[in-house]
């Protein structure tokens, strides 16, 4: 997407991390102030995500797993949409084309910090409901919602950027009608 316009914000995605506990784990019991050593967690793996609260910027859920968007990404409610949030829509439109119109990113959450998006723990919506975790993959309806909303908002509220995006990547606008 940087080839589309140098004025667009960049996107940085922080991957989740896995913590595996060993036999030497220390933890607090509920209501206690001291730590105790426990073997109950030995071998347990936990998926975690980075905390983004430390930067002083507000953490935002941009797109839910079902494809519902934050009001911040509505070009009619947010005059700054074209300068900032359109990059998230273009990211999803490009991802959709690159996956043969089968997938998009959902559970898009994070912060806008220092002129870039820092996102964490994205999920994937796929037309194939068996392709990813059923708890986060809301299937073809989520894919369609994300693509239709992204196309509408980019085309309506950032038309020059949207046309340049299509031109640079050699995408025809009508491809999104087939989603």
Tell me the per-residue pLDDT of 92-131, one tens digit each, with 9 for 90 and over.
Answer: 999 999 999 999 999 888 888 787 888 888 889 999 988 8
pLDDT of residue 6: 47
What is the DSSP code string of the chain?
Answer: -TTT-TTSPEEEEEPPEEEE--TTEEEEPTT-SSEEEESTTTT-EEEE----GGGSSPPEEEE-TTSPBPGGG-TTT-TTTTTTTHHHHHHHHHHHHHTTT-EEEESEEEEEETTEEEEES-EEEESSTTSS-TTT--HHHHHHHHHHHHHHHHHHH-HHHHHHHHHHHT--GGGGGG-
Query: What's the whole-model pTM score?
Result: 0.75
Per-residue pLDDT, averaged over 137-154, amounts to: 94
∠ CA 103-109-111, rounded to 5°: 135
Per-residue pLDDT, averaged over 70-87, amounts to: 85
Q: Pick the residue with more confidence: 110 or 21?
A: 110
Identify whether the C-beta of residue 125 lies closer than 8 Å to the C-beta of residue 142.
Answer: yes
What is d(CA 127, CA 104) in angstroms, rounded to the nearest whole number? 9
Segment 165-177, tens digit of pLDDT: 999 999 999 999 8
């Amino acid at each position: 997407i940087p080839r589309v316009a140098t004025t667009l914000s960049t996107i940085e995605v922080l991957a989740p991390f896995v913590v595996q506990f060993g036999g030497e784990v220390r933890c607090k019991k509920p209501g206690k102030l001291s730590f105790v050593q426990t073997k109950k967690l030995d071998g347990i793996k936990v998926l975690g995500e980075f905390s983004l609260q430390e930067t002083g910027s507000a953490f935002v859920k941009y797109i839910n797993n079902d494809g519902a968007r934050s009001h911040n990404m509505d070009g009619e409610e947010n005059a700054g949409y074209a300068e900032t949030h359109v990059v998230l829509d273009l990211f999803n439109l490009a991802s959709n084309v690159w996956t043969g119109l089968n997938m998009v990113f959902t559970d898009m959450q994070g912060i806008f910090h220092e002129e870039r998006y820092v996102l964490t723990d994205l999920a994937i919506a796929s037309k194939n409901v068996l392709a990813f975790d059923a708890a986060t993959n809301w299937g073809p309806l989520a894919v369609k919602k994300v693509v239709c909303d992204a196309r509408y908002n980019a085309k309506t509220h950032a038309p020059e950027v949207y046309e340049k995006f299509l031109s640079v990547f050699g995408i025809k606008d009508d491809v999104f009608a087939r989603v």
